[in-house]
Every structure is written in C-alpha cells, then in structure tokens.
Copies of this chain bind each other. A is one copy, B any other.
Amino acid sequence: MEDQEIRKAGLKVTAPRVKILELLENSEQRHVSAEDVYRMLLSANEDIGLATVYRVLTQFEEAGLVEKHHFEDGHSVFELNKGKHHDHIVCVTCGRVKEFVDETIEDRQKKIADELGFQISEHDLVIYGKCLDDACERKP
C-alpha cells in the first residue's frame, strides 16, 4: 500500500499524496512533469490543485521517493526513485527518454571532481540526440 511509503517519509497520509503516488506507480511514462501529473489527476476527476501537485512532488523528492531532473528545454520531470542512479538520453525530436548507467563514466566523474577540488553531491548527465525510432515525431 502507498500509505506505508508516505508514512515512512514522515508525511501525513492524505488523499492527494496517495493519488499522486499511485499515479506515478501506474503511469505509462516513467518521466512526468508536474503539469502532466496535474492533467492526469483532472482526467481522473480528482479535485487537486496544481500548487498541491508541486508541493507533494517536492516533498516526495526531499523524502527520496522521486527524483527531479531539469532538461535543457527548461522542462522539469519527476520519476519514481528506483534507488539506483542512472543518467538519461533524450530525443530532441520526440522527447523520448531512455536511461542508462555506465560505471566507467561514474568513476571518471569522481576522479575529475577530486582533481578540481569538489565534493560531488550529485550530477546529471544528459545526452541529447535524435532517436532512430520509426514513430519519432515532434510532439504537437
């Protein structure tokens, strides 16, 4: 049950939080924006304000339940935290997102930060490209 996860995060179990968490868990796309979530809630006839969506997603992020990413187009997306770090590759045309992990890159990053006198808190590698999928089209 979602209730447990929310409680564990130190948050009260409220309808919006449960609904949003459910939605994230059952969503087709792993990467959704706050607006996406809001629209999905409307479709589901849930009466939840946009401000609450942002609030809840931010709280979930602080609690480590979801991760937030800022892509170059200025769009922020949230995704359920699977607990495993990964980077993203985004199609510049259709917006499709894939995930990947590469130990070599991870190691090099640590080394570089070390050399430059930084203590890594996090990082974001995003590769932008054109995917070769047949259905790749610019979104409307």
Shortest Cβ distance from A90 into chain B, in angstroms?
9
- Report the separation of the CA atoms of residues A116 and B129 in the bound assembly, to the nearest whole angstrom: 11
A117 — nearest CB in chain B belongs to which residue? Answer: B132
Oligomer: number of copies: 2
Main DSSP-derived SS at the A contact region: strand
B100 touches A105 (CB 8 A): no
Q: A108-B104, A132-B117 are in contact. Are A124 and B126 (CB under 8 A)?
A: yes
A108 touches B102 (CB 8 A): yes
- Quick check: is A120 within 8 A (CB to CB) of the other chain? yes
- Quick check: is A130 within 8 A (CB to CB) of the other chain? yes
For A132, what are the chain B residues with a Cβ–Cβ distance below 8 Å? Answer: 117-119
- Report the separation of the CA atoms of residues A109 and B88 in the bound assembly, to the nearest whole angstrom: 11
Instruction: Provide a sorted-by-A list of 11 A–B residue pairs whose CB atoms are within 8 angstroms.
Output: A100-B112, A102-B108, A104-B108, A109-B127, A116-B131, A118-B127, A118-B130, A119-B129, A119-B132, A123-B128, A124-B126
| 9 interchain residue pairs of minimum CB distance | A118-B129, A123-B127, A120-B129, A125-B125, A117-B132, A119-B130, A70-B72, A122-B128, A105-B108
